[in-house]
Structure 1
Amino acid sequence: MSDQWTPGHDGRPRPTPTAEEAMLLSPAQRDRVVTPDGVPLAPWWRRLIAYWIDGFLLSVAVQALLLPLQALAPGSWFGSIPRTSLDTVFDTDLGSWRYVALSIAATLVLGAVYSILMVSRLGWTLGKRILGIRVRHRERERLATPSEAIARWAVQLAPAALSTAGPFGAVAGLWVTIDGLRPLIWNDRRQAFHDSAAGTSVVMA
């Protein structure tokens, strides 16, 4: 057995089988722990922490991009910056809405460049690299193509960028939560919706 742990049928953690051990399991059991060619799937907790790390890095990059605009013309571009998502719903200050719009646009653009380029060229983002996991095609050993990386971004990260968009943010946040929980709760291949849309799996590096 490897040193990775995954939930067993009773919910308790079990050592993840090695590729050789996984080949001895039934097809249904094997799909939960390895890809069709025997590469161990990444545990859900590693994916979650990697997502948090990437989200933090992206938020830092977005704020670094917006700060110069705030310094140059704080009144015209930013007005009174909203403190919470509720402020963006009820605040009629044009500056605050500009701030939200710029923040969403910057998150979409930087997130797309970061995620699509790194996943299609390297197979990982910085968060995934730190956690020792990577993205590959579900059926065979190859990197995600640019179109597959775009599909992953569009289904997962593009909605996440809208989480500050007033009332739409709640819907976007709910979708991201459902997408993230799918590998843990009700998908036998440990694929989130963005994995299924792209035909990819997240595996151990």
Structure 2
Amino acid sequence: MSFQAGWYDDPENQSQQRYWDGNAWTDRRRPKYGQPAPERPQDGQSVQHGQVFGGAGQQAQQPFGQPQQPYGQPQQGQQQHGQQYGQGQGFQGGYQPYPQQAAVGYGAPGQNPNRVVTPDGQPLSGWWRRVFAYIIDSILSGLIALVFSGYFVWKFLQWAMDFYRPLFEEAARGGNPVAPTTLPAEAYKWIIPASLISLAVQFAYQYFFLTKAGATPGKMLLSIAVRQRGSRGYLPPAVAAKRVGFYLGVNVVSAIPLLGQLVFIIILLDWFWPLWDDKKQALHDKWPGTQVVRT
């Protein structure tokens, strides 16, 4: 999403405006509200030739008998004797007390001072867009992972049916079977390969799209993308690896007994952190220095 070049409210200082060149903020700044127009002279005071009162948009006084310049033609600088005076515009060099604003609705930076943006003015994504994008990506990456891990998943399901069948049969006869609290070691010869394949697919899925397109399919559907806070463009490989690795790493650790409960709290904090963070970053955005933006 590109913004039109022009003057917008400075995201770093709401009391002034800053020039957006169409790609990034420049160092050109000006006051948000102009200085008052010069006072009119009192009766009896002399008026210099070409002096304008009332700010921009007020026509310069035209000497009697001088021909008028065609409407809309820009005025030149200091007028010499015999030159034409323009209409419809203020005298060139006169200070405009109220700078022109960009039209509302174009998505230009600064049109909503309450909206959180990146340092160069790109709006950040809301929390719900990130959640729905995550759900979509989880479904897509899960289906891809199932293609590669399907054999191990199927073998685990067969083992589970054989393992729990006696318990079901005893319960059907009116007994009171006691289910085991832990799985036998035999189960993990199917669970571990399936889990590792799933993690590898999720990492490759996120890493590929973030480095090649700047957004996963789920984020593309929700019109959001991931970028570095200080620069535009797709994520460098090292940054993408940090971002994806942090998130997948805490999920792996959550499966470890005892540590899992503590890590589960970190996972919850990671999910909800953008709601109160001033930069709208999750915990897995903090380490690599990334932000999720609107496109």
What is the number of residues matched between the two proteins?
A: 174
TM-score by structure 2 length?
0.52
Alignment match, 1:48: 131
State how far apart, in whole Å, the 1-side matches of 2:202 and 2:116 are.
29
Q: 1:79 aligns with which of 159, 166, 171?
A: 159
Q: 2:115 aligned with 1:38, yes or no?
A: no
Alignment match, 1:175: 266
CA contact (8 A) 1:41 1:202 kept: yes
State how far apart, in whole Å, the 1-side matches of 2:285 and 2:234 are.
13
CA contact (8 A) 2:145 2:197 kept: yes
Q: 2:138 aligned with 1:58, yes or no?
A: no
State how far apart, in whole Å, the 2-side matches of 1:177 and 1:52 are.
15
Cα deviation for residue 126 of structure 1 reads 1.2
Q: 2:206 aligned with 1:115, yes or no?
A: yes
Equivalent position SS for 2:205: helix
Alignment match, 1:86: none
Q: 1:101 aligns with which of 179, 187, 192?
A: 192
State how far apart, in whole Å, the 2-side matches of 1:61 and 1:162 are.
23
**Match of 1:65, as an amino acid?**
F
Alignment match, 1:8: none
Q: Tell me which structure has the larger Cα radius of gyration.
A: 2
Q: 2:291 aligns with which of 172, 184, 201?
A: 201
Cα deviation for residue 70 of structure 1 reads 5.0
CA contact (8 A) 2:214 2:234 kept: yes
Structure 1 runs of 4+ with >6 Å offset: none
Unmatched tracts of structure 1, length 5 or more? 1-16, 84-88
Q: CA RMSD in A?
A: 3.0
Structure (1 or 2) with the greater helix fraction: 1
Equivalent position SS for 2:230: coil
Identity, % of aligned pairs?
A: 27
